């Protein structure tokens, strides 16, 4: 029976990795997302029931869940040098002349896109990913292996054959533009500052402590350089082609060039073509193809002599600022928008640019009628970066930021610790009311497919819904009176509303739209407090005790529940059968036996996976920590516990317990004290 289960897990793992490869590397999926998710769910369940067969290279490890408090600094086996940069074709010609003079024989180049992301070095041994290290200072970088394993285009286990026993492959981790846009949309919805650009977003994501959050960010990676003592080919191009067969994502835009004119042709192609890509590039990298010729050319102190990066100039244009309008978000946040005289920028016609907040307007001293400079650069949304004051009219009035809501005329407010102004009329300001309902029915919240923004606007304008609770009291005969609402559409809508009553508590909590509460925070709050009443009655101090809940977020939660209108909506949603407490399944083995106790989990376990062990700690009221300190109550040690952690625990006098000791702790009516466990 055991061998049969082991075989099923191995076969399922192989199929899932094949589908990962087809989807993320060669972009030719052969099954639907739903079928893939079901396969992954089956694998996770089997591994949970049979943890002895859980492999560190299992595709289930891509969902994340491990917490890294500190990223270990490690020395690069091969230094990660920077490339020399240029913005001019003249410099490239000089580079080619130096190559010609030094080699005095035939040579060829490889041209590649220069990805605007985070450099990474991946080490593989016997076809298994063992370490992922950032560039750092070139000599040493941070070990981010746990987070990198969540990136689906990076193979944990290689395919095919012919790869070296041990090698390092380098590349660039990046955030696709679509993912970046989605994250910023959500951040703006919960009144958080939008991320500046995809490059910074990728860098910040890669250093997040919770790998489960990293997994949700959907980072991607192109690989572009291999180092090893036993590579199959003696040139760069062919080895990268081989790497594609091993499972790595290698750009299809890589191209050989026999002379400088072919390089110029490649540059011109991508100076315009880059705007049609789904990711950001900031230039092109040119490398000598032959390894022997690379060795002859050698290195300077900082960079290889056989490679150079050509960087595209930042896209900047000037145009006229015709007016400034103000948008109201679902949280009441006011965003000023510059309405521009249409101008061509980076291949698209730009008519609008974000001005973010009043501080930006003040800093730029931007005024209606000004000639302004607009850039894209690494930004997705065009932004105004300056004003040509020499073109300003002498009588140009200074921009005065609005004081009343442009939608409902309510006086705006601004907290000392925030950059934006807000309209406080949550229940009466139309964009806020409709925006809250749109968020409530969105895919990651209540997921009511048939109820989009247009339908919500129609129902609101008809007076049928004024808040998200009203959605559950819609009557068929009333909805049928709405324009373009046929009987089939109405039936689908009502069925979708009915089905949403089964959505679990954490998603309902996210859906009700408490300011500063995103999807991840909502889940943490749900599992910590277990029901809406406990959360509602929590004090500021109790809220701050929850991981990653700061004072601003805690105050936002308190303010939400103090409001009588919000309380009435919650009660109405409860009466309509929505889930405002964790399900029985989620509450299995839940208790407060480990309340106020902090644990560090280290090593490999036989009866729990590490993630399940941490989940058991949280379900029983305890807290997980990634590092040992004076505040740690217990270290749960499995096989191969790190010697440094063991040494630190002994030095601080922190009890080290086994997996079985922990099971006793949660399996008894009272928490065992240290003496009970150690005896």
Active site residues: 114
- Segment (H or E) for 586: helix 584-587
Residues 437 and 457: beta-carbon distance below 8 Å: no
Alpha carbons 442 and 451: distance in angstroms, whole number: 9
Per the DSSP assignment, residues forming a β-bridge with 344 are: 349
Place of tokens 């150690």: 678
Alpha carbons 468 and 441: distance in angstroms, whole number: 8
Alpha carbons 452 and 651: distance in angstroms, whole number: 58
SS3 396: coil
Alpha carbons 518 and 351: distance in angstroms, whole number: 31
Residues 211 and 68: beta-carbon distance below 8 Å: yes
Residues 550 and 544: beta-carbon distance below 8 Å: yes
DSSP class per residue in 18-67: HHHIIIIIS----S-HHHHHHHHHHHHHHHHH-GGG--TT-GGGGG---B
Residues 328 and 405: beta-carbon distance below 8 Å: yes
Per the DSSP assignment, residues forming a β-bridge with 75 are: 140
Residue 26 backbone class (left: φ over 0; alpha: ψ -120 to 50; beta: rest): alpha
Alpha carbons 556 and 335: distance in angstroms, whole number: 20
Per the DSSP assignment, residues forming a β-bridge with 623 are: 598
CB atoms within 10 A of CB 456: 22
Alpha carbons 345 and 316: distance in angstroms, whole number: 7
β 166-174/140-142 pair status: unpaired
Alpha carbons 595 and 579: distance in angstroms, whole number: 25
Residues 374 and 343: beta-carbon distance below 8 Å: yes
CB atoms within 10 A of CB 87: 14
Is the CA virtual torsion 511, 515, 519, 522 positive or negative?
negative
* Residues belonging to the chain: 679
DSSP class per residue in 362-393: HHHT--TT-EEEEE-TT-SS-EEEEE-GGGS-
- Segment (H or E) for 358: helix 358-364
List C-alpha distances in Å: 77 to 158, 207, 427.
Answer: 21, 21, 60
Q: What angle do CA 390, 396, 399 make, to 5 degrees?
A: 110
Residues in Cβ contact with 484 at an 8 Å cutoff, skipping those fewer than 6 apart: none
- Segment (H or E) for 532: helix 532-536
């Amino acid at each position: 029976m055991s061998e049969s289960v082991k075989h099923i897990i191995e076969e399922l793992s192989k199929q899932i990795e094949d589908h990962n490869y087809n989807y993320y590397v060669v972009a030719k999926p052969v099954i639907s997302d739903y079928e893939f998710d079901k396969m992954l769910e089956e694998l996770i369940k089997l591994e949970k029931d049979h943890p002895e067969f859980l492999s560190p290279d299992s595709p289930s490890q891509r969902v994340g869940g491990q917490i890294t408090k500190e990223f270990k600094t490690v020395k690069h086996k091969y230094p990660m040098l920077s490339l020399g940069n240029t913005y001019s074709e003249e410099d490239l010609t000089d580079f080619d002349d130096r190559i010609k003079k030094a080699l005095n024989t035939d040579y060829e180049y490889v041209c590649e896109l220069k990805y605007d992301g985070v450099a990474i070095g991946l080490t593989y041994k016997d076809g298994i990913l063992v370490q992922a290290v950032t560039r750092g200072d070139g000599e040493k970088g941070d070990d981010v292996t746990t987070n990198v394993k969540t990136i689906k285009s990076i193979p944990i286990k290689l395919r095919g054959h012919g790869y070296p026993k041990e090698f390092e492959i380098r590349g660039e981790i990046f955030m696709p533009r679509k993912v970046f846009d989605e994250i910023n949309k959500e951040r703006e919805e919960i009144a958080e500052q939008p991320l500046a650009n995809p490059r910074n977003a990728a860098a910040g994501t890669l250093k997040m402590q919770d790998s489960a959050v990293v997994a949700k960010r959907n980072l991607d990676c192109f690989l572009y350089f291999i180092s090893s003592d036993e590579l199959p080919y003696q040139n760069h191009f062919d080895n990268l082609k081989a790497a594609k067969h091993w499972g790595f994502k290698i750009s299809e835009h890589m191209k050989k060039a026999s002379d400088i004119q072919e390089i110029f042709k490649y540059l011109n192609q991508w100076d315009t073509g880059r705007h049609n890509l789904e990711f950001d590039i900031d230039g092109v990298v040119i490398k000598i193809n032959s390894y022997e010729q690379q060795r002859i050319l050698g290195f300077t102190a900082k960079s290889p002599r056989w490679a150079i990066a050509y960087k595209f100039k930042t896209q900047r244009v000037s145009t006229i600022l015709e007016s400034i309008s103000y948008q109201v978000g679902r949280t009441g946040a006011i965003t000023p928008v510059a309405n521009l005289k249409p101008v061509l920028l980076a291949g698209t016609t730009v008519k609008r640019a974000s001005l973010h907040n009043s501080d930006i307007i003040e800093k730029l001293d931007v005024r209606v009628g000004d000639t302004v400079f607009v850039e894209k650069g690494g930004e997705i949304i065009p932004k105004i970066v300056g004003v040509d004051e020499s073109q300003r009219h002498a009588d140009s009035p200074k921009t005065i930021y609005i004081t009343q809501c442009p939608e409902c005329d309510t006086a705006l407010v601004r907290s000392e610790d925030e950059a934006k102004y807000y309209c406080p009329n949550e229940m009466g300001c139309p964009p806020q009311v409709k925006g809250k309902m749109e968020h409530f029915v969105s895919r990651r919240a209540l997921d009511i497919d048939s109820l989009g923004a247009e339908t919500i606007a129609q129902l609101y304008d008809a007076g049928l819904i004024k808040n998200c609770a009203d959605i559950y009291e819609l009557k068929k005969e009333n909805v049928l009176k709405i324009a373009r609402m046929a009987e089939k559409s109405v039936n689908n809508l009502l069925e979708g509303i009915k089905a949403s009553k089964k959505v679990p508590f954490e998603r309902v909590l996210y859906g009700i739209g408490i300011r500063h509460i995103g999807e991840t925070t909502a889940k943490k709050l749900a599992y910590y407090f277990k029901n809406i009443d406990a959360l509602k009655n929590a004090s500021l101090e109790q809220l701050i005790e929850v991981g990653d809940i700061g004072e601003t977020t805690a105050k936002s939660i308190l303010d939400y529940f103090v409001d009588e209108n919000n309380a009435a909506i919650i009660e109405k949603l409860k009466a309509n059968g929505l889930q405002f407490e964790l399900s029985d399944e989620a509450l299995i083995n839940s208790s407060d036996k480990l309340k106020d106790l902090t644990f560090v989990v280290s090593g490999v376990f036989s009866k729990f996976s590490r993630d399940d062990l941490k989940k058991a700690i949280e379900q029983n009221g305890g807290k997980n920590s990634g590092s040992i300190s004076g505040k740690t109550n217990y270290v749960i040690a499995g096989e191969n516990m790190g010697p440094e952690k063991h040494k630190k625990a002994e030095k601080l006098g922190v009890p080290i317990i086994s997996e079985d000791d922990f099971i006793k702790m949660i399996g008894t009516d009272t928490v065992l004290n240290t003496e009970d466990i150690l005896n």
